[in-house]
Amino acid sequence: MTDIKKFCEYLYNSSYIPVYLYVNNELAYYYPLQEKDTLPPSQYLSKLWETEKKVTYVITSFYSYYGCIKIENDNSCIVIGPVNDFPYTNDTLLNMRREFFIEISNSESFYDFFHNIPTMNLDTFINKLLFINYTFNKTELTRKDIEASEYAQFEKSINEKYSEKSYEEKEEGLLNTNYETESELVRYIETGNMMGICKFINPGRNIRVGTIANDNLRQWKNMVIVTTTLASRAAMKGGLTPSIAYQLSNIYMQQVERLSNLDAIQSLFGQILREYTNRVANSIIPTTADNILYQAIQYIRENTNKNITVANVADHVGFSRPSLSRKFKKELGFEISAFIRKCKLEDAKDLLAYSHKSISEISSYLCFSSQSHFQKTFKDHYGITPQTFRKSAKQVD
C-alpha cells in the first residue's frame, strides 16, 4: 500500500504546489512547512468535502484552484493548491490577505509564500488530480467526471450575479452601452479609421466597462485581452492577413501578462488599437474585390519571405498569368509585381523597427536579389534608407 505521507512529500518536491493531508477533516500533514495563516481557508475546504465525488476542485474568489482527492476505504483526503494560471499581482495578494485574515505585520511572509508557488493552468491541474486519484483509488476518471458539480455551481453563481446586477442597473436607470461601444470600435478598425480610433482612446472619454475582475490591475489586463481578440477579428474582416492578426494577438496577450504597472497596461491598450487600425489602413482590401482577388492578395501577404512571382500567384488562384494581371490592374489599379514589392517592403519596415536582424538578413529573408537592391528599392519607395528608417524608429520607441 502506498505511504500517503511519503507520496505527499514526493508530490510537493516534484511540483512545488502545496500539499495537505487531512484525516477525518483534520489537518494531519503538509508540505511545505508554513505558517497557519497560509493553510487552505475553511470556506474552500467545506466546498471540497461537501460533495460525494472522489475528486473535485474549487475556484477561489482570487481565481486560484484548490483540488481534493478522497481516498477510498479511508477517512483521509489529499488537498493540493492553490495554483493560479498567472503570477499573483500585488493587488490580488492584498485582496487575498484580507480573505486569509493576515495582519499587516505578517504580510511579507504571506506574499513570499504565494509568490513561490509556480503557475499552472487548469488543464494541467485537473490532470494532476486524476493521476493522484488513479494512484490511490485505481479508478479511471475523466475531466467531465469531476467538472459536473463545478458547472452546476458556476451556473447557479452566474445566474445569481446576473439577476442581482440586472436589478441594480434597472433601479439606478443605467443602460449598458457596451454593445454600442464595441460596434464603434469594430467599425473604426475594420475601416482603418485612424482619426476615429484616436478619438476612441482619448483619455477624456468616459467608456463604461463592466467589472470582469476583482482588482483594478486584473480588470485592465482582462480588458486588454478581450479587446485584442475583438481587434484582431475586426482587422481580419477589414483585410489584414489572418497570420499577421493572430501573431500580433499572441504577442500582445503575452506582453500584457508580463506587465505589473497600470500605466504601462493602459498605454499598451491604446497601442494595440492604433496598431491594428493602422495595419488595416495600410493593407485594406477593396470591398469590390472578389474571391479571386482576395485569395491572390492574401497569398502574396503570407508569402513575402519567398521568391514569389506573378506566375506563382496566378497558379495559386487558378488563373492564367495574363488574365490575372489584367484583372488586378483593372479592378485594383496597380500591377501584381508592384503589390508584391509593396508587401515585402511593409514587412521590411516591421523587421527594421522591431527586430535585431541585420539589413543583410532582412534583405535575404525577403528574397531580394541583393542587399544593394533592397536598399535602393526601399529608398525609392519611402524616400529614406533602411538604416535611417531603423534609427528613427528606435528613437520613437
pLDDT tens-digit readout, 306-334: 999 999 999 999 999 999 999 888 887 88
Instruction: Give the per-residue pLDDT at 171.
Output: 47
Cβ neighbours of residue 337 closer than 8 Å, sequence gap 6 or more: 310
- For every residue of 232-279, which 3-state class applies, written as one string? HHHHHHCCCCHHHHHHHHHHHHHHHHHCCCHHHHHHHHHHHHHHHHHH
28 and 142 within one domain: yes
Same domain, 270 and 310: no
Same domain (yes/no): 271, 296: no
First to last CA, the chain: 62
Number of domains into which the chain is organized: 3
Residues sharing a CB contact under 8 Å with residue 191, sequence separation 6 or more, in sequence order: 238, 280, 284
9 and 146 together in one domain: yes
Are residues 234 and 193 part of one domain? Answer: yes
Same domain, 232 and 117: no
Least-confidence region, from 201-215, 283-297, 308-322, 327-341: 201-215
Q: What is the pLDDT of residues 68-113, one digit of tens each?
A: 999 988 889 999 999 988 777 776 787 788 778 888 888 888 888 9
210 and 279, same structural domain? yes
pLDDT tens readout for residues 18-30: 999 999 989 999 9
Single residue among 109, 126, 156 that ends a domain in this structure: 156
What's the domain range around 210? 178-283
Cell of 62: 482570487
Q: Over 70: is that where the pLDDT of 239 sits? A: yes
Q: Which of 59-63, 89-93, 129-133, 227-231 has the lowest mean pLDDT?
A: 89-93
Helix then strand then coil, in percent of the chain rounded to 5, is: 65, 10, 30
CA dihedral of 350, 353, 354, 356, whole degrees rounded to 10: 110
- pLDDT tens digits for range 114-159: 988 998 888 889 999 999 999 999 998 888 777 655 544 544 454 5
What is the Cα–Cα distance from 162 to 185, expressed in whole angstroms? 25
The answer on 360 and 279 residing in a single domain is no
Backbone angles phi, psi at 55, to 5 degrees: -130, 130
Task: Identify whether 173 is part of a domain.
Answer: no
Whether residues 13 and 137 fall in one domain? yes
Provide the whole-model pTM: 0.45
Residue 98 belongs to domain with CATH number: 3.30.450
Judgement on whether residues 263 and 331 belong to the same structural domain of the protein: no
Same domain for 148 and 45: yes
